[in-house]
């Protein structure tokens, strides 16, 4: 969807998903820290969150696919037009394919929590594949576009492929908070960069960007780094905020709000012991 | 062998090999789960399977090499023609070289099971090398072909090199079911993509594909992702089917059908404990 | 800042930072070795060093940003000139952005030591990101420069990206002296190479280098390897010197000079046991 | 040294070094297997071997550097000719630089064994750096050569960079026989490929190769794979031969020939247990 909205919608999705991952991973981290040996299963609240996350992913992917197919100028589920002997709206089909893989990742997330026979890490593996497919399709998307257009989409590949590598690494390295927050930050960066692409290619106000000018390429490269700094800041603040809420909640009354059941002592101890442990 | 059959034969081989790996790895996983401390050696059935696998690999590689050499328009084991001062049928020789390395991988598989003096992971290392050689030769194969032809072969390199990296990783990370199933999926994907290449370059029916058209390049890129989704689905269904059969078999009568000797209880426990363990 | 000084200043900074890392990591290594089970916290001296390091990093980054902005021909905090409809001094802005990320790394270093709620490895992760951003901006910096100019800056990317990868690896592999000294060496190499770039592009004396001559490209490639050899030598000598001082200090009187509190015996033992341990 | 001999000399060195590594690693592996808990230090024989290896490396590197400098048409230690304002014999200087780093690797090997204060893995790290420098200089060596010449040197980069990565990995993964033998195989491959390069560019007999012909590029690519297969075979046979000799020696009389001091039983047990252990 070649307009500002077409970039703002996935941008909003990725921004929120990044924030959500930061919240989820911080909560999980504190639950693990406060966990005593006898309780191995995650609390009900954390499990429910996974269902909701997977459900929302599937729903968003489904809506995205439907919109790409059935917008006014969409392909309406036609792939090949025999009358003109040409493919119909391949860009919409490619976007649908991207959404499909995020839908699969959401499904894997739900299935991994519903049945307990599925295997550890299948949710991260499918997420890694979804990001790889997104980057893979974008990479071959860029053919014969003007320099600035190609460049801002190339920069998008940085958080996409880094996120894919990060999620793949999480299949092997479990429960590493810093790695998990880094993934959250990469999603946030991807989201905010989608907005930036929208602003560059389809400015809502102000002058149109010269897509051939090398100085614009140089500026966007630098601007991407500023987005990265902001993403790191936002994820960091989110993490500290959630940590502070958890600490207050578990300090005041046990088992309320986030169902953590850990006593105030063990939770505080966990926070203090954090940097000492290996 | 530049025709549909020349792509369908290796395609079929890789499809079946991917399915077979999914079955083998799932069986091995369940055996490991049901294993009690006193029995360290793999059951006879799993060992026999390895012999058969290695034997079939060697046989298929030998047949492949013979066919490439002695088809009607093959090089008939001549490498250099002194009369014309040129190399004879280099493409057939390159295909023979690919088969040779899969034969070596099969040999390593058998030797690693016959003698017990060989070293852990030698079968995966040789498989990784075989896939690397396949990708390496294909990579230099693509010189001066039309865009679509080069593109569909470039896409083939994705499952080939990813498979090589995966097998290399398995030398160090043992008994990681998800990693093993991912390798099975990559083989399946390679097989189905061989069929797709055959369909694009040598269509059995319908119009000939325009090898210069950029839209065809875009479609095949997306089509590759669909093959990936199908490969993931097929491997997942295979795994669930085998798991279900194992559960039924070991639940009904001990030591039948797949010779697992684990009691029904330990096997069920293994299935239930699966997602909890790290 | 396109002159010799503009390369000598960051060069000096990176040279000193490399030396400092070599000293710090060697001291930490000896402290870990001499450590007895009852004392888990790092000695006050090592902690103070981290504050000083972070503080200096932040201060240097701030000064660097200010200088880049407010030199005579700098942008003076103006990003876009509406009168000429063009970006103002983008190169200075890019350098400021690089300094910003080293400032963030310094901040993370301090925060990780002040509060104990922050997470293990956050200082290395931010350092890795800072190096990545530096390399990333340099990479897109090189557009349409003469061959030799582009080449000497490309060679700079080797220690920058290798350092980024090294720091990222240290998030997962802790307390590996060889890896840490390698990072110190890469910073030293980066620093000495900055001087070399200054010498090549803005020679203080002697003839101007021909920026088009291929032989100059070949020489600088080889010269880079000599810098690498010198960096390895310097870091090695620094490490041996610090080790020797630590040994003397802890052998003569306990708790002096570097506050290590380990007895001479345990320290000597640590040095001797070094190559045996895994 | 642009003649057959100039490729045969380093080729011979790398062939022998590959064989030697295969012997050394197999012996070390068997020593580790037969080792009982009370003896932690390596036997005198294995230590002496390391001295000899390091010494030979340093001597060969020194001779190589001298030869490159003081052959009849060499630079005779002159780097820059002020009369003609040009660099003197840069190719010889580059080769000298390569030898220098292998000399450093040899030195690190000796030092790591003489003093016990040096750090685990420093010999592999320097070897990895030496291979990286070799590949790095070769990579920028290839500018503006005819296609076949550039191609056979590009293929050389495969074992060089793979060897560098392998040695770097060994800094972290210790005592993994398969990984070590793979490194031996990569050195053997590099050596045999040096001979092949000599044969292609400076044939001793037979017709001169057409350096522009694409078929020659295709043939050498395939030929490289054959060299790989031969390298794998040779290393495998060497390993089996050494294992067989060790078994016979330790079975017949204890403490003879290779000073292993393990009893026949423990050694045999080690061989049998080999594939079971993780």
Q: Partners for A (CB, 8 Å, 3+ pairs)?
A: B, C
Residues contacting A72, CB < 8 A, separation 6+: none
Question: Which is more confident, D241 or D263?
Answer: D241
Q: Which of B3, B30, B61 is nearest to B250 (CA)?
A: B30
**What is the count of residue pairs from B and D with beta carbons less than 8 Å apart?**
72
For residue B86, the model assigns a pLDDT of 85
Cα separation, B61 vs B204, whole angstroms: 27
Q: What is the pLDDT of residues A57-74, one digit of tens each?
A: 999 999 999 988 888 888
Q: Partners for C (CB, 8 Å, 3+ pairs)?
A: A, D
For residue B41, the model assigns a pLDDT of 54
User: Are the C-beta atoms of residues A54 and A47 closer than 8 Å to each other?
Assistant: no
Which of B14-18, C216-220, C266-270, D26-30 shows the lowest per-residue confidence on average (mean pLDDT)? C266-270
For residue A273, the model assigns a pLDDT of 42
For residue B253, the model assigns a pLDDT of 43
Q: Is residue C66 scored above 60 in pLDDT?
A: yes
* pLDDT-above-70 percentage for chain A: 85
* pLDDT-above-90 percentage for chain D: 49
Q: C253: pLDDT confidence band, cut at 50, 70 and 90?
A: very low
Q: Is residue D260 scored above 70 in pLDDT?
A: no
For D169, which DSSP code? H
Tell me the average pLDDT of chain D.
Answer: 83
Hey, are the CB atoms on D218 and B90 less than 8 Å from each other?
Answer: yes
Q: Is residue D270 scored above 80 in pLDDT?
A: no
Hey, are the CB atoms on C125 and A178 less than 8 Å from each other?
Answer: yes
Taking CA atoms, C219 is separated from C148, C222, D85, in Å, by: 10, 5, 14
D72: left (phi over 0), alpha (psi -120 to 50) or beta: alpha
Interface of C with A (CB under 8 A): 40-41, 85-87, 90, 93-94, 97, 100-101, 104, 112, 116-122, 125-126, 129, 133, 136-137, 140, 143-144, 171-172, 174
**What is the count of residue pairs from A and B with beta carbons less than 8 Å apart?**
72
For residue D263, the model assigns a pLDDT of 39
Q: Chain B residues with CB inside 8 Å of A108's CB?
A: none
Cα separation, A248 vs C179, whole angstroms: 40
**Counting beta carbons within 10 angstroms of the beta carbon of residue C36, is it exposed (0 to 12), middle (13 to 18) or buried (19 or more)?**
exposed
Interface of D with B (CB under 8 A): 158, 173, 176-179, 182, 207, 214-219, 221-222, 225-226, 228-229, 232, 243, 271-272, 274-278
State whether residue D173 is helix, strand or coil.
coil
Question: Which is more confident, B3 or D152?
Answer: D152
For residue C265, the model assigns a pLDDT of 41
User: Are the C-beta atoms of residues D117 and C33 closer than 8 Å to each other?
Assistant: no
Mean pLDDT of C124-142: 93
- Give the CA angle between residues D14, D18, D23 to the nearest 5°: 145
Hey, are the CB atoms on A171 and B177 less than 8 Å from each other?
Answer: no
Hey, are the CB atoms on B137 and D271 less than 8 Å from each other?
Answer: no
Q: In Å, how far is A104's CA from the nearest CA of chain C?
A: 30
Hey, are the CB atoms on B140 and D221 less than 8 Å from each other?
Answer: yes
Report the predicted TM-score, pTM, of the whole model to 2 decimal places.
Answer: 0.88
Interface of B with D (CB under 8 A): 40-41, 85-87, 90, 93-94, 97, 100-101, 104, 112, 116-122, 125-126, 129, 133, 136-137, 140, 143-144, 171-172, 174
User: Which of the residues C161, C225, C239, C247 would you substitute to probe the D interface, choosing the one with the greatest number of D C-beta atoms within 10 Å?
Assistant: C225
For residue B74, the model assigns a pLDDT of 82
Q: Is residue D264 scored above 60 in pLDDT?
A: no
Q: What is the pLDDT of residues C138-148, one digit of tens each?
A: 998 887 788 89
For residue A116, the model assigns a pLDDT of 61
Q: Chain B residues with CB inside 8 Å of A97's CB?
A: 222, 225-226
Hey, are the CB atoms on D140 and C217 less than 8 Å from each other?
Answer: yes
Hey, are the CB atoms on A119 and B226 less than 8 Å from each other?
Answer: no
Q: D175: pLDDT confidence band, cut at 50, 70 and 90?
A: confident
**Are B and A touching by the rule of 3+ CB pairs within 8 Å?**
yes
Hey, are the CB atoms on A229 and C117 less than 8 Å from each other?
Answer: no
Q: Chain D residues with CB inside 8 Å of C214's CB?
A: 143-144
For residue C12, the model assigns a pLDDT of 94
Q: What is the pLDDT of residues C31-55, one digit of tens each?
A: 877 765 444 455 677 788 888 899 9
**Length of chain C counted residue by residue:** 278
Residue in chain C lying closest to A239 (CA): C118
Q: Is residue A49 scored above 90 in pLDDT?
A: no
Ranges under pLDDT 70 in chain B: 1, 35-43, 115-119, 251-278
Q: What is the pLDDT of residues A183-222, one digit of tens each?
A: 999 999 999 999 999 999 998 887 888 888 888 999 999 9
| Residue where the block lists tokens 């620093």 | C191
For residue A37, the model assigns a pLDDT of 45
Q: Chain D residues with CB inside 8 Å of B171's CB?
A: 178-179
Instruction: Return the structure tokens found at A251.
Output: 């300090």
Instruction: Return the structure tokens found at C151.
Output: 């080449």
For residue C1, the model assigns a pLDDT of 59
User: Which of the residues B178, B193, B214, B242 would you substitute to probe the A interface, choosing the one with the greatest number of A C-beta atoms within 10 Å?
Assistant: B178
Q: Count of alpha carbons within 13 Å of B205, Cβ hemisphere only?
A: 0
Q: Count of alpha carbons within 13 Å of C83, Cβ hemisphere only?
A: 2
Tell me the average pLDDT of chain A.
Answer: 83
**Length of chain D counted residue by residue:** 278
Q: Is residue A102 scored above 90 in pLDDT?
A: yes
Hey, are the CB atoms on D278 and B120 less than 8 Å from each other?
Answer: yes
Mean pLDDT of D161-176: 93
* pLDDT-above-90 percentage for chain C: 49
For residue C117, the model assigns a pLDDT of 53
Q: C153: pLDDT confidence band, cut at 50, 70 and 90?
A: very high
C169: left (phi over 0), alpha (psi -120 to 50) or beta: alpha
Q: D160: pLDDT confidence band, cut at 50, 70 and 90?
A: very high
Mean pLDDT of A151-170: 95
**Are D and B touching by the rule of 3+ CB pairs within 8 Å?**
yes
Instruction: Return the structure tokens found at A115.
Output: 């049945």
| Residue where the block lists tokens 């390159």 | B94
Hey, are the CB atoms on B177 and A119 less than 8 Å from each other?
Answer: yes
Hey, are the CB atoms on B133 and D232 less than 8 Å from each other?
Answer: no
**What is the rounded end-to-end Cα distance, in angstroms, of chain A?**
48
For residue A208, the model assigns a pLDDT of 86
Q: A141: pLDDT confidence band, cut at 50, 70 and 90?
A: confident
Q: Is residue C128 scored above 90 in pLDDT?
A: yes
For residue D73, the model assigns a pLDDT of 81
Q: What is the pLDDT of residues A253-277, one digit of tens each?
A: 444 334 344 433 444 444 444 433 3
For residue A90, the model assigns a pLDDT of 87
Tell me the average pLDDT of chain C.
Answer: 83
For residue D238, the model assigns a pLDDT of 95
**What is the rounded end-to-end Cα distance, in angstroms, of chain C?**
48
Which of A22-26, A35-39, C118-122, D77-81 shows the lowest per-residue confidence on average (mean pLDDT)? A35-39
Residues contacting B104, CB < 8 A, separation 6+: B126, B129, B130, D229, D232
Hey, are the CB atoms on D101 and C229 less than 8 Å from each other?
Answer: yes
Hey, are the CB atoms on A215 and C87 less than 8 Å from each other?
Answer: yes
Could you say which of D158, D215, D274 has the minimum Cβ distance to residue B119?
A: D274
The question of ipTM being above 0.90 is answered as no
Cα separation, D141 vs D153, whole angstroms: 9
Q: What is the pLDDT of residues D177-232, one digit of tens each?
A: 999 999 999 999 999 999 999 999 998 887 888 888 888 999 999 999 999 999 99
Hey, are the CB atoms on C274 and D144 less than 8 Å from each other?
Answer: no
Q: Chain C residues with CB inside 8 Å of D125's CB?
A: 178, 182
Q: Chain C residues with CB inside 8 Å of D116's CB?
A: 271-272, 274-276
Residue B187: how many other CB atoms lie within 10 Å? 27
Could you say which of C222, C229, C278 has the minimum Cβ distance to residue D94?
A: C222
Q: Chain D residues with CB inside 8 Å of B97's CB?
A: 222, 225-226
Residue A253: how many other CB atoms lie within 10 Å? 10
Q: In Å, how far is B40's CA from the nearest CA of chain D?
A: 8
Mean pLDDT of A111-118: 70
């Amino acid at each position: 969807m070649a307009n500002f909205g077409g970039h703002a919608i996935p941008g909003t999705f990725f921004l929120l998903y990044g924030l959500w991952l930061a919240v989820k991973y911080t909560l999980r981290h504190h639950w693990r820290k406060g966990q005593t040996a006898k309780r191995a299963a995650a609390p009900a609240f954390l499990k429910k969150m996974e269902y909701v996350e997977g459900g929302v992913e599937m729903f968003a992917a489904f809506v995205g696919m439907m919109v790409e197919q059935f917008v006014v100028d969409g392909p309406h589920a036609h792939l090949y037009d025999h009358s003109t002997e040409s493919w119909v709206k391949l860009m919409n089909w490619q976007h649908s394919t991207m959404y499909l893989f995020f839908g699969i990742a959401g499904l894997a997330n739900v299935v991994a929590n519903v049945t307990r026979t599925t295997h550890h890490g299948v949710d991260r593996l499918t997420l890694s594949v979804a990001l790889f497919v997104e980057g893979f399709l974008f990479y071959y998307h860029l053919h014969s576009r003007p320099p600035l257009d190609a460049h801002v989409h190339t920069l998008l590949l940085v958080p996409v492929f880094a996120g894919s590598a990060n999620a793949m690494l999480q299949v092997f390295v479990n429960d590493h908070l810093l790695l998990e927050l880094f993934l959250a930050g990469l999603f946030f960066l991807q989201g905010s960069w989608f907005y930036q692409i929208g602003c560059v290619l389809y400015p809502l106000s102000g002058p149109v960007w010269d897509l051939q000018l090398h100085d614009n390429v140089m500026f966007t490269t630098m601007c991407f780094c500023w987005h990265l700094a902001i993403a790191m800041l936002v994820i960091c603040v989110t993490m500290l905020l959630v940590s502070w809420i958890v600490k207050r909640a578990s300090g005041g009354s046990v088992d309320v709000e986030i169902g953590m059941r850990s006593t105030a002592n063990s939770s505080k101890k966990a926070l203090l012991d954090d940097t000492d442990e290996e």
